[in-house]
Structure 1
C-alpha cells in the first residue's frame, strides 16, 4: 500500500512524503511519469526499473525521473519512506541544461541538504524558507561532476549504477533478483543460498536487523523467459559462488550489509569473506560501480547515523563517536567535517535550530 502526503505545492513544484508498506518481490504495473522529479529515500529500500535497467534505491542512492519515463517498482524488504519532488519544466530547465543520469549517489552533503529541506517544510514558510532550501537541494543533487569540490570522490559518482547502454549483459535480471541475490546467469532451477542482511522496515525493524528475503516460485502469470525474480534464499549464509557476479550485484550486496550494520561490515576483509570474493575484487568493484571508494561509502553511512542522532539533539559527542565505531571524538569530527563541511556541533545547531 502506498500513501502520499503533500508537504507543499506551488505551480513551480510539489513535494510529497511517500510511504510504502508493500512487501513483494515482483514488479509493479508500469507507472508513467508526467513531470520532472527527484526521489530521495529517508528509510528502507526498494527496487526501481526504468528503460530496462534495475536499480536498488536506498538512503545512499536516489533517482531522477523525466516525463514519459515508464517505471516499475518492487519492495522485497518491506516498507520505505521517501521524499518525492516534482518540478515544472521551466524550473527544471533553469536548474539543469543537460539530461541528468537516472540514478544519483546521495553523499553526506546531499543528505544534509535533504534534512534541512524537510526542516524548512515544517516551518510553514513555503514561499521563501522552503523554496530556498528546495533550490539548494536540487542544485546539490543535480550538480555536474566538474562543479563538485576538488578531491571529492562524489564528484565522479552521478553514478555508474547501471545506466542504459553501459550495463553489462544480465545486469537487469541480476539486480531484480534482488539486492542480495545471485546473478541471473546461473542455470535454471539452481537452489541458491545467500546472505540477506536487509534493511529493517519502518514498522518493525531496527538498525542492524537481519531478515531473509524469501520469494516463492513465480506464478504462471508472471513467469516467463527473462522474467526478473528472486529464487528462494536462506538467512545469513554466504553467497553461493556458481557463476560470475556482476559488479552491480556485488556492490548491492556490500551496500546492504554495510547499511544493516552486519558484523562482517566492520572491515574490508571480513566483508569480502562474507560475500565470498577477494578483498581486491570487492574494492575495485565498488570504485567502478559507484565512483567512490568502499571506505568513503562506509564512512558516509556512519555520518548519516551521526546526523540522525545530531538531529535529535545528541549532547554527548564522545559517546556518539564510540557508538558509531570511531576511534575518538576527534576522529568523528574530522570525518563528519570532511563529508558535510561542518563539525558535529555546528550540524547539531543547524538541524535543531539551537543557539
Structure 2
C-alpha cells in the first residue's frame, strides 16, 4: 500500500521527521515516522493542515498543542484538527517513533479532540496495524484495521481534571508528572521510586499521589506499561533475545517480563513477536 501514498503529505505538516507512508484509503493516509531531533528547547510552530491522530510507539518528548504542554510517550495519542498549533522539544534525546493517521474533511470519524491515553487494547491494535502494513495488506484489511484502531481509541479518554484542583495547581501537577515520565524513560525504566522522586524534587508519597491523580494509574502500573511497550518496539525491530530485553528494561528475569506482559496484553512474548514483527 505504501507505493500509493505520497510521503510529502506528512512532511511539513506536523514538524520534522523521516519515514514513509504505510497505506492510503479514500481521504485517509497512514504514516510511519521517526523524529531524530533532540534538545530541551521548543522548535518552531507547525500549523496542522489536516485532521490526524498521532500515536507514539517508542521514546518520549514534550508536545505543546495550542499552548498546552504534555509529555508524549508510548501511552500517548493526540487527536488534532486543521489549524492546531504544534511545537515539540526533546529533552531526553531523539529517535522517537510514532504513527500518524491523516484524513480529509469528507471522512467522518468521531474522535474527541485533544490528548488521549492509549490503553493496552489500543496499543495492540496500533502495533498490529503497523506490522501488517509492513508485511503487505490489501485495502480491505487496511480499512478494517484502521477503523478498528480508531474505534478503540474513541472509547478511551484522558483523566478528568479533579473538580477541587485550581487550574494553576493542575498545570503544576502535570509538569511534575511529565518530568517523572521523562526521567523514567531517560533512565531506561530502571530508576527506583526514591531516586525518581529526588530527581524531580518531590517526596516519594507526594509524587505517587500526584502521578495517580494526573494519569489515573499508579507509578508501578505506568512504568510496567511503558516497559512492555518498549519491549514490543524492540521485538518489532527484530530483537530475538527475551532474556536480554528483560534485563535491559529492569525486569527481574524473563519470567517476570512474561508475567507482566501477560497481565497487560493477555499474551506471551512469543505470541507478541509474531504479531508485531513486520516479517
Aligned to 2:182: 256
- 2:85 counterpart of 1:71: yes
Aligned to 2:103: 87
**TM-score by structure 1 length?**
0.63
**Could you tell me how far 1:30 is from its partner in structure 2?**
4.7
1:218-247 per-residue CA deviation (whole Å, 9 max, x = no partner) reads xxxxxxxxxxxxxxxxxxxxxxxxxxxx11
User: Could you tell me how far apart the structure 2 residues matched to 1:353 and 1:59 are?
Assistant: 19
**Contact 1:16 1:85 (C-alpha < 8 Å) held by counterparts:** yes
Max Rg structure? 1
**How is 1:16-35 mapped onto 2 (pairs within 5 angstroms)?**
16-23=31-38, 25-31=41-47, 33-35=48-50
User: Could you tell me how far apart the structure 1 residues matched to 2:69 and 2:166 are?
Assistant: 10
- 2:167 counterpart of 1:168: yes
Q: Which runs of 4+ in 1 moved over 6 A?
A: none
SS of 1:169's partner is helix
**Contact 2:57 2:229 (C-alpha < 8 Å) held by counterparts:** no
1:16-56 per-residue CA deviation (whole Å, 9 max, x = no partner) reads 2344444562452350x343210012344443333431222
Larger RCO: 1 or 2 (CA < 8 Å, sep 6+) = 2
User: Could you tell me how far apart the structure 2 residues matched to 1:51 and 1:293 are?
Assistant: 28
Aligned to 2:141: 129
**Could you tell me how far 1:85 is from its partner in structure 2?**
0.5
User: Could you tell me how far apart the structure 1 residues matched to 2:247 and 2:194 are?
Assistant: 22
**Could you tell me how far 1:318 is from its partner in structure 2?**
4.3
Which consecutive unaligned segments of at least 5 residues does structure 2 have? Answer: 1-15
- 2:64 counterpart of 1:49: yes
Identify if the C-alpha distance between structure 1 residues 167 and 258 changes in structure 2 by more than 3 Å, giving closer, same or farther.
farther
User: Could you tell me how far apart the structure 1 residues matched to 2:98 and 2:249 are?
Assistant: 24
User: Could you tell me how far apart the structure 2 residues matched to 1:271 and 1:171 are?
Assistant: 20
- 2:239 counterpart of 1:327: no
Aligned to 2:73: 58
User: Could you tell me how far apart the structure 2 residues matched to 1:315 and 1:30 are?
Assistant: 38
Identify if the C-alpha distance between structure 1 residues 313 and 23 changes in structure 2 by more than 3 Å, giving closer, same or farther.
closer
**TM-score by structure 2 length?**
0.78
Identify if the C-alpha distance between structure 1 residues 305 and 17 changes in structure 2 by more than 3 Å, giving closer, same or farther.
closer
Higher helix share: 2
**Contact 2:174 2:214 (C-alpha < 8 Å) held by counterparts:** yes
User: Could you tell me how far apart the structure 2 residues matched to 1:28 and 1:331 are?
Assistant: 43
**Contact 2:131 2:275 (C-alpha < 8 Å) held by counterparts:** no
Identify if the C-alpha distance between structure 1 residues 126 and 91 changes in structure 2 by more than 3 Å, giving closer, same or farther.
farther
User: Could you tell me how far apart the structure 2 residues matched to 1:345 and 1:13 are?
Assistant: 33
Higher strand share: 2
Identify if the C-alpha distance between structure 1 residues 310 and 30 changes in structure 2 by more than 3 Å, giving closer, same or farther.
closer
SS of 1:266's partner is coil
Which consecutive unaligned segments of at least 5 residues does structure 1 have? Answer: 145-157, 173-245
CA RMSD across the alignment? 3.1
Identify if the C-alpha distance between structure 1 residues 81 and 279 changes in structure 2 by more than 3 Å, giving closer, same or farther.
same
- 2:279 counterpart of 1:280: no
User: Could you tell me how far apart the structure 1 residues matched to 2:43 and 2:221 are?
Assistant: 32
Aligned to 2:8: none
User: Could you tell me how far apart the structure 1 residues matched to 2:89 and 2:278 are?
Assistant: 35
